[in-house]
Structure 1
Amino acid sequence: MFLRAGFRATGAGHSVLALNGVSVEGSLWLDTSGVTRSGQATGALVAIDGLTYADLPAPVGLSRWLELLRDHTPGYSAQPYQQLAAVHRAAGHDSEVRDILMAQRRDQIDRGGLRRRDRAWARFTGLTLGFGYQPWRALLLLFAVLAGSVALAVVLGRPGGGLEHTTRASTPTTPCSVVERVGVGLDLGLPVVKTGAAGLCAPTGTPAGQTLTVAGWLLQLAAWALATLFIAGFTGAVRKT
């Protein structure tokens, strides 16, 4: 099916071009530059729910096709995204398949009529895991938590501040060194591995020490949550579609 240069369509109905349920056994060439709405009419340009085709669609690139599915169809439907992903998967375009399925999830959030709770969870997993397709995002956030915990321990634990040696250290109640404060920060930001620095340096009763204590609780919670999310995304426990 070749709807390309010279093809024109205009209308004022629900969709200008209706290709719902059409089966194309070979190539599909769909140029929508000539598809317009008449007068002041509003609505979708194309309706392609149920449209199937055997080869990669032409002539525009993937980003334009995703724009077409998102902005110029009557509403969210999974089938057009799954069909586009299928032909790209058959062509061996794994990264494009991932982009298509992530775009499908975003469109589902925006136009799919999800319940508020499901929409919030989808947005959260999109940010932290790329909807399950990019679990490395959780690792990046974990590294950010780790960097923040180290910076917090170094700044708040400076001499006269929020950290001092415990009775287990050779010089109790004295200020902790920079290396020891870095170790405390690592202990706060790492969910499993510990350096042991927290046993030698402890928060004081000063405002800085109290702040470091509360921040440490929050940082540990965030670190464990992000590590769990990474494992869930890596093992496929988070729903991708």
Structure 2
Amino acid sequence: MSFTGSSVAGVLCLKRAMIVGRLSLRKIRAGSVRTKADTDLSGPVDFRHSQIDVLADDPARWPDDLLLDGLTYRHLEASLPVRDRLAWLAKDSTGYLPQPYGQLATTYTAQGHDAAARQVLLAKCRRQRASQPATLRIWGHIQDWTVGYGYRPMRAAAWLVLLLLTATLAFASHHPPAVKPAEAPTFNAFLYTLDLLVPVVSFGQEQAFNPHGWQQWLAAALIAAGWILATTIAAGLTRSLSRQ
């Protein structure tokens, strides 16, 4: 069945509809598209490049083969859990496409659901990662674990606090020897750890002391973690500013 290119001023209602085979809703213009619990669609549905004012549907009623690229809508009638809408996007048989995720996030933001919009954009990054080469997937996992691709900034703060406390206790129990004992400042385990973790700030501790053995490995790990966190936080801030 095909409605390709049709214009519906009111509601395109699929209540009690039972359609076997392909349903083309491509390039339609509609005031609203509605499905109900008794809607039965067994074939693929093509929504590409359609413009809908209100999407008044149940995501579960759509089949597992959707084409959503270019679909725009201004309002979601039902206040649904984000996971239901993400499962709806995942039904797109063409794989990862950025526009459907961006559209859903834009609609949630317009309706005042900022947390839901961030969750959608995080899911977008994760789905994109699955289509990338192995090296980019590894970097993507790091960004996800540390700051949730910039959409969960408090996770970065938690990592920093955990590393800061753990390393401070480790260095306080046995601080590294001074490079020049006669000129070295008083060792401060907290400031020394900050010096290692924060790549752009110096408290005069890192250069004054020279760790050995396991402390050398710990110091190297803190420096690497600091750069990773700084880079991912910067990437997250860039994304946030680009959405303003």
Q: Fold match, TM over 0.5?
A: yes
Deviation at 1:100, TM superposition (A): 1.2
5+ long unaligned stretches in structure 1: 11-15, 37-43, 170-175, 204-208
Structure 2 spans left out of the alignment, 5+ residues: 1-32
1:177-215 alpha-carbon deviations (Å, 9 max, x no partner): xx955555455445424275985x765xxxxx5222332
Q: Is the 8 A contact 2:56 2:77 kept in 1?
A: yes
Corresponding residue SS for 1:137: helix
Give TM-score scaled by structure 2 length: 0.66
User: Counterpart of 1:27 in 2: which secondary structure?
Assistant: strand
The alpha-carbon distance between structure 1 residues 229 and 31, as it changes in their structure 2 partners (threshold 3 A), is closer
Could you give the per-residue CA deviations for residues 147-202 of structure 1, whole angstroms, max 9, x where no partner exists?
A: 22112213444xxxx66997439xxxxxx9xx955555455445424275985x76
Match 1:89 to one of 101, 106, 109: 109
Which residue of structure 2 aligns with residue 126 of structure 1? 144
Q: 1:181 to 1:198 in 2, by over 3 A?
A: farther
Change (3 A) 1:90 1:195: same
* 2:213 matched residue in structure 1: 210
SS, match of residue 203 in structure 2:
coil
CA 1:224–1:238: 2 relative to 1, 3 Å? farther
Within 5 Å, give how 1:15-164 maps onto structure 2. 16-21=43-48, 23-35=50-62, 44-58=64-78, 60-70=80-90, 72-74=91-93, 75-110=95-130, 113-157=131-175
Q: How many residues matched? A: 208
Matched residues in 2 for 1:9 and 1:145: separation?
52
| Structure 2 match to 1:206 | none
CA–CA distance in structure 2, aligned partners of residues 238 and 117 of structure 1:
26
Who is 2:21 aligned against? Answer: none
Tell me how far apart the structure 2 counterparts of residues 90 and 225 of structure 1 sit (CA, whole Å).
33
Contact 1:85/1:100 (<8 A) preserved: yes
AA aligned to 2:182 is R
